[in-house]
Amino acid sequence: MTIARNALLRMSKSHWLADRVMTRGFAKKAVKKFMPGEELSDALDASATIGRDQLGSVLTKLGENLTAQSEADAVRDHYLGAFDQIKLRRLNAHVSVKPTQLGLDFSQSGCAEHLEVLAQKAESTGTYLWLDMEDSSYVDRTLELYRGLRGRHEKVGLAMQAYLRRTPADLTQLLYTRPTVRLVKGAYAEPPHIAFPAKRDVDLAYYDLAVELLNAAAKGQALPIFGTHDMVLIDRLVTKAAAIGVPDGGYEVHMLYGIRMAEQRALAAKGRTVKTLISYGSSWFPWYMRRLAERPANVWFVVKSMLAG
């Protein structure tokens, strides 16, 4: 992990820095690159716009580690409304939620109840519910939540992180559920004994896990989702899918709003299933820092802007 990347990941956890940065004009302008706005309506409008280019979307409200039951209840109700709006506007859109938004930090059973309500709503509105994966301390609990949901619902998906050393074993144990898995590289600050620190090792781990998912897909045992902006890696996986008989609809590619949009449209034009992850909400600072940490070319510009602002 580079010094700049490590610094940004540490900064993402600073409430003091968030309070200072989020009021600065340069920061609000910069974050617009990665999110269309802070309101659900902004995300829905963006979903409709990119849908004209055959791009689906995954909507997620920013914010995590909520500490009060009333806050978790409010997030549940917000997402119930989001599902209704997706159906009303006939959007090709899913919803993705972090378990700590639904109270995982203080009640796993309460979080599970909220997820059950949302999974039922996803089914009734003809869409999908996704569970995001947070830092390594939440992996076991999130896997347990997903297994519970998957036992009762088909249209539920889970994000898994390739940089965690434990993920190959986790994936092997999860395959019996016939899961839908969005494989991402990982964007949290983790110690070396938990996560691979070197990009090359993460890339190798990602490819191996993706191939395992494709092999499962060839047997009808998984739906792989490749959550990466690495076009070389995507091309390798598309080629691998064709070689083992996984059709274009047997996997998907997910990328972030504002990143490689031309490539997203090109993939969709070639018949790939592509969805764009659209984030919204006022609690964008930790998420934005993690996005910057994934794009080293932007790091020093942003750091200098913060220090000068």
**Residues tagged active-site:** 132, 182
Are the beta carbons of 49 and 37 closer than 8 angstroms? no
| 94 φ, ψ (degrees, to nearest 5) | -110, 175
SS3 224: strand
DSSP designation for 107? -
Are the beta carbons of 66 and 105 closer than 8 angstroms? yes
CA distances from 14 to 149, 186, 285 (A): 33, 19, 9
- Quickly count: other Cβ atoms within 10 Å of residue 25's Cβ: 8
CA distance 214 to 233: 14
- Which residue, among 41, 59, 44, 64, has the nearest Cα to 289 in the 3D structure? 64
**14 token code pair:** 């600073």
